[in-house]
Amino acid sequence: MATILPTRQATAEVAASAAGRDARQGEFCATPHGNANITGPERGVTAPSARPGTGHVLLRQHLAGYAFFLPFLVVFLVAIVAPLAYAVYLSLFQDRMIGGTVFVGLANYARAIGDAVFGTGLLRVALFLAVQVPIMLGLALFCALAIDSGRLRWPRLFRITIFMPYAVPAVVAALMWGYMYGDQFGLTGQIGRALGLDLPDLMSRSWMLAAIGNMVTWEFVGYNMILLYAALRAVPGELYEAAEVDGAGAVRIAWSIKLPALRPALLVATIFSIIGSFQLFNEPNILQKLAPAVVTTGYTPNMYAYNLAFNGQQINYSAAIAVVLGLVTVVVAYTVQLATARRERAL
Amino acid sequence: MTAATETPAATGRHTATRPARSRRRGARSPALTVAMLLMFGYTVLPLLWLLMNAGKSDGDLFSTFGLWFGDDWQLFTNIGATFRYGDGIFLRWFGNTVLYSVVGAGGAAVLATLGGYALAKYRFPGRRLLFALVIGAISIPGTALAVPTYLLFSRIGIVDSPWAVLIPSLVSPFGLYLMRVYAADAVPDSILESARIDGAGELRILRTIALRLLAPGFVTVLLFSLVATWNNYFLPLIVLNTPEWFPLTVGLAQWNAQANSGSAGLGEATYSIILTGSLLSIVPLIIAFLLLQRFWQSGLATGSVKQ
């Protein structure tokens, strides 16, 4: 069934393909913006000498291209490339009591690899990734399919409401849920007391990661739902017609047409979620104030890097941690992408 | 505007591409609706809790049930107290957030639009390499860059100033990627060629033709950059020390830290002020999303923003 869909590479062009299909649908809309006076296709044919591709005309176009790209490039170099290069540079030095800053090669990296706090933090976010991301994307997938099914009452209301938490800052989300979890004026405590139940303390050591997972799920289910829903909307209607003529039911259509069509969007959502999980910082950092004994300074790798640099004055080691964290993220994201691409080819 | 965009015709459901869908719409599934109502409840629960508790006094906060009104509804008293607290620092934070978001997101959208248009429509040497570089940057965890950014900015002396927040906000690799995809389809090559034959310069083509065609993509990138900068916490937390420059997120986190520091009675922020401040900080973005629905509803995944 999947073979009748337009085949696309699932690598870097993942979202581009989804975009391309949507864009084509609306192409007729792109032109009626008052350009009719200059849009004569016959004129391009009658004056071939002035077409791009000749001499100084081409050079002028190249220069314009560079000029338009330049502002982005400048900020890109200042805000991304330079800090990255500086982090790598810093990570090769150590600040010593005696002798000041000295070049130590990869010593900071060797230390990072053997660092139990860093290792535990990485394992923690890996566990988070393995549990929270499938739950979140599963819910998002269910919501997107439900809204797209045409069998749901008030689809628009659900679409808007479930997306809303995306507009709530992670800080505010963490404060709300953190207070709700708490025992002072928290909702769990109130419900537990009202029902006479001994509900678990969500801010305790054994529940904290799940509590953070719930916050992140709440924040991003709607975002991923819209991402997947937009991809569903791009499925050509003829596919559904053909499936209905063949006698396929709603579940069968969802399984055989919609899920394959959602693969690229699901991959994009997965990659973003992987990056987000490894970066986990805002929620645990806020919760640290509410449960300092549970959320330690090295709870996530990012919190560790932050606390090393700003509370421990270990700037060089912190830079090495940041670089290793970035590398791990890129490797995992890239592996997932490659694995998906290979599976697509095998089909 | 909102009403018009939400009619079925405008969302494309009833256009020629999907006749089968509209016919199937009749058979509703109660089970599906119930399941989605559960999701709806989950989504609304913390927001309802926040709304209820932002209207309570500190006493009611502890003595009344979280999902219902307290004994007094004093939201407006709390709002007043929030704005008065600490010599009106909340308003300052609000202004800072607006400044960072509008300048940062606006700039990011402009740069991404220009850059994406250049990459999609000009075949200058090196463009593939530049694009690959930017795509690579998408997968670099932004927060992994934050500590080095702080160190670099402190070298050149712009730490603890608005520039330290604004400059990193101006670059959006994902925005550039979206705009390149979008520009490739939204601006037909034939129009550009005709305009050149008519003697229009590249800048004039950009101004009079391309920008108009790119506008929907621009708004989408703007909206999502706006969320990113409005909600930004890690970077400002690192690069700013002076409370006068804090955005709302860092300010609220600081109030929370004060309230939980245990030094009760020393003029620290109270929970009701934090809750009211939290509520106030999410209202503008929610309004923006409700007003600009047609852009995010179809435009999130990619450049698919055309209606």
Residue B186 scores a pLDDT above 90: no
Cβ neighbours of residue A229 closer than 8 Å, sequence gap 6 or more = A143, A144, A147, A148, A159
Given an 8 Å threshold on Cβ–Cβ distance, is B134 in contact with A76?
yes
Percent above pLDDT 70 for chain B: 83
Tell me, what's the pLDDT at B44? Answer: 95
Percent above pLDDT 70 for chain A: 83
Enter the DSSP assignment of A198: -
Tell me, what's the pLDDT at B260? Answer: 80
Identify residue A319 by its one-letter amino acid code.
A
pLDDT digits (tens, 9 = 90+) for B256-288: 988 887 654 445 668 889 999 999 999 998 998
Lowest mean pLDDT, pick from A9-23, A181-195, B58-72, B144-158: A9-23
> Which run of H or E residues covers position A242?
helix A237-245
B94 — contact with chain A (CB < 8 Å)?
no
Q: Which residues of chain B lie closer than 8 angstroms to A289, CB-CB?
A: 253, 256-257, 260
Tell me, what's the pLDDT at A54? Answer: 64
Tell me, what's the pLDDT at B267? Answer: 54
Residue in chain B nearest A291 by alpha carbon: B260
Tell me, what's the pLDDT at A245? Answer: 85
A–B interface: beta-carbon pairs under 8 A: 392
Tell me, what's the pLDDT at B298? Answer: 57
Tell me, what's the pLDDT at B300? Answer: 54
Lowest mean pLDDT, pick from A195-204, A254-263, A309-318, B233-242: A195-204
Tell me, what's the pLDDT at A12? Answer: 35
User: Buried b vs exposed e over B167-203: b needs ≥16 C-beta within 10 Å?
Assistant: bbbbbbbbbbbbbbbbbbbbbbeebbbbbbbeebebe
Tell me, what's the pLDDT at B143? Answer: 63
Mean pLDDT of chain A: 81
Q: Give the best-scoring range by mean pLDDT among A254-268, A304-318, B89-103, B261-275.
A: B89-103
Enter the DSSP assignment of A7: P
Give the pLDDT band (50/70/90) at residue A208: very high
Mean pLDDT over B27-36 rounds to: 89
CA distances from B175 to A170, A276, A318, B82 (A): 21, 17, 29, 35
Given an 8 Å threshold on Cβ–Cβ distance, is A18 in contact with B302?
yes
Residue B139 scores a pLDDT above 80: no
Tell me, what's the pLDDT at A138? Answer: 97
Tell me, what's the pLDDT at B13? Answer: 37
Tell me, what's the pLDDT at A60? Answer: 86
Mean pLDDT over A79-102 rounds to: 88
- What are φ and ψ of residue B301, in 5° steps? -60, -40
Give the pLDDT band (50/70/90) at residue B71: confident
What's the complex ipTM?
A: 0.84
Mean pLDDT over A287-300 rounds to: 91
Give the pLDDT band (50/70/90) at residue B307: very low
- What are φ and ψ of residue A102, in 5° steps? -125, 150
Model-level pTM greater than 0.90? no
Given an 8 Å threshold on Cβ–Cβ distance, is B306 in contact with A139?
no
Percent of chain A as helix, strand, coil, to the nearest 5: 75, 0, 25
Tell me, what's the pLDDT at A125? Answer: 96
Q: Residue A21 corresponds to which tokens in the numbers above? A: 């299909």
| Residue A78 neighbours by CB distance under 10 Å | 18
Given an 8 Å threshold on Cβ–Cβ distance, is B115 in contact with A39?
no
Give the pLDDT band (50/70/90) at residue A204: confident
Tell me, what's the pLDDT at A347? Answer: 61
pLDDT digits (tens, 9 = 90+) for A51-66: 545 677 788 889 999 9
Given an 8 Å threshold on Cβ–Cβ distance, is B152 in contact with A15?
no
Cβ neighbours of residue B248 closer than 8 Å, sequence gap 6 or more = A169, B93, B94, B96, B97, B277, B281
Lowest mean pLDDT, pick from A8-17, A316-325, B34-43, B220-229: A8-17
Q: Residue A170 corresponds to which tokens in the numbers above? A: 């992670």
Apex B141 CA angle, B139 and B147, nearest 5:
145
Give the pLDDT band (50/70/90) at residue B142: low
Q: Work out the minimum CA distance from B172 to partner chain A, whole angstroms.
A: 8
Q: Which residues of chain A lie closer than 8 angstroms to B145, CB-CB?
A: 80, 83-84, 87, 322, 326
Q: Work out the minimum CA distance from A76 to partner chain B, whole angstroms.
A: 6
Tell me, what's the pLDDT at B86? Answer: 86
Q: Residue A305 corresponds to which tokens in the numbers above? A: 């890097």
Mean pLDDT of chain B: 83
Q: Which residues of chain B lie closer than 8 angstroms to A221, CB-CB?
A: 39, 43
Mean pLDDT over B132-152 rounds to: 79
Q: Which residues of chain A lie closer than 8 angstroms to B216, CB-CB?
A: none
Residue B303 scores a pLDDT above 70: no
Q: Which domains, from first to last, does chain A contain? A: 116-346 (1.10.3720.10)
Facing B49 at nearest CB: one of A180, A271, A278: A180
Q: Residue A127 corresponds to which tokens in the numbers above? A: 């566990």
Residue B39 scores a pLDDT above 50: yes
* CATH among 1.10.760.10, 1.10.3720.10, 3.90.226.10, 3.40.30.10 for B89-299: 1.10.3720.10
Give me the residue spans of the domains in chain B: 89-299
CA distances from B112 to A70, A182, B179, B239 (A): 11, 43, 6, 24
Residue A230 scores a pLDDT above 70: yes
Tell me, what's the pLDDT at B11? Answer: 38
Tell me, what's the pLDDT at B36? Answer: 95
Given an 8 Å threshold on Cβ–Cβ distance, is A19 in contact with B302?
yes
> Which one has a higher pLDDT value, B175 or B69?
B175
Q: Work out the minimum CA distance from B87 to partner chain A, whole angstroms.
A: 22
Give the pLDDT band (50/70/90) at residue A170: very high
Mean pLDDT over B58-63 rounds to: 80
